[in-house]
Amino acid sequence: MSEQIEKVSIIISKGSLDGIYPGLIMANGARAEGIEANLFFTFFGLDAIHKKRHENIKLASVGNPGLHLASWLGGFPGVSSLMTHYMEHHMAELDIPALPEFIEMIADSGTPLYACKASVDLFGMKQGDFIEQVEDIITVGEFYEKAGGGEIIFT
Amino acid sequence: MPEKNITGTTVEVGEDGFFLHPEQWKEEMAPELAREQGIDPVTDRHWQVIRFMRKQYLEKGEGPSVRVLGKTSGVPIKELYQLFPKGPAKTAAKLAGIPKPRGCI
């Protein structure tokens, strides 16, 4: 067998449902395989760990060709919510947890969650804005230290 | 396919070490399988998970995911990872003599 992956550090930089889930699935899957994992949230990805926002993450319905929906239609009020609702329903059927539960589960698996300092400063946020599982607000340099000896995945 | 001797019985396992025939498994094999995974001793809490895995497999034809284990085995996710640091569902399936669960979540 080829060399095994021992550790991954995953960056989540987008704030849409379709931007956040893939990174979470990669992190959760890593832990399930016994691989060490870190999660680093930057830019709009911070919404995934924001106390007031993480329960209302929406699917991007504009500029998302994967939805196979006319662009002009995607911008109508309520379309993003409707598509999100549809997607969440479908995910629940497949036993994929809702975002808050998923993040809690990943934290419980021993994956530390970090917020990016530059983005936190940019958006005028503070530690108290984040869910309690967020371990720390760290700089990009600290991120690289924590990622040492492992693979980095950017999403 | 590789064969393996556990507590004096020969069983067939796949390349990845999971049992090919779950019916060849016996409870007394679990401690030896656990030692190979760095788990020693097998505590009551380990047993709770191993037995749950096996029961689910025999009922449903597939072992449960970590999420299902956390919700229904009576052992929460944090503790599951303490008991089985190399991956709860994967390791417990190996000790329970069932195929590796294939869920992505």
Q: How do the domains of chain A map onto residue ranges?
A: 7-59+99-154
Q: Is A152 in the B-facing interface, judged by CB distances under 8 Å?
A: no
Number of structural domains found in chain B: 1
Lowest mean pLDDT among A44-58, A59-73, A134-148, B85-99: A59-73
Reported as a pLDDT band with limits 50, 70 and 90, residue B1 is low
Contacts of residue A33 in chain B, CB cutoff 8 Å? 87, 90
CATH fold for domain A7-59+99-154:
Hypothetical Protein Ychn; Chain: A, (3.40.1260)
CA of A72 to nearest chain B CA: how many angstroms apart? 34
- For residue B40, being part of any structural domain is answered with yes
Reported as a pLDDT band with limits 50, 70 and 90, residue B91 is very high
Contact B63, B52 (CB under 8 A): no
The C-alpha atoms of residue A49 and residue A52 are separated, in whole angstroms, by: 9
- For residue B64, being part of any structural domain is answered with yes
Contact A25 B81 (CB under 8 A): no
**Which of A18-32, B14-28, B91-105 ranks highest by mean pLDDT?**
A18-32
Contact B81 A110 (CB under 8 A): yes
Question: Can you list the alpha helix ranges (DSSP code H) found in B1-105?
Answer: 30-36, 44-60, 66-72, 77-83, 88-95
DSSP H or E segment with residue A93:
helix A79-93
B38-86: pLDDT as tens digits:
999 999 999 999 999 999 999 988 899 999 999 999 999 999 999 999 9
ipTM higher than threshold 0.90: no
Count of CB contacts below 8 A, A vs B?
45
Q: How confident is the model at residue A1, as a pLDDT?
A: 54
- For residue B101, being part of any structural domain is answered with no
Contact A48, A103 (CB under 8 A): yes
Q: Closest chain A residue to B78 measured between Cα atoms? A: A108
Q: Nearest CA to A74 among A132, A16, A134, A14?
A: A16
The C-alpha atoms of residue B19 and residue B13 are separated, in whole angstroms, by: 4
For chain A, give the mean pLDDT: 93
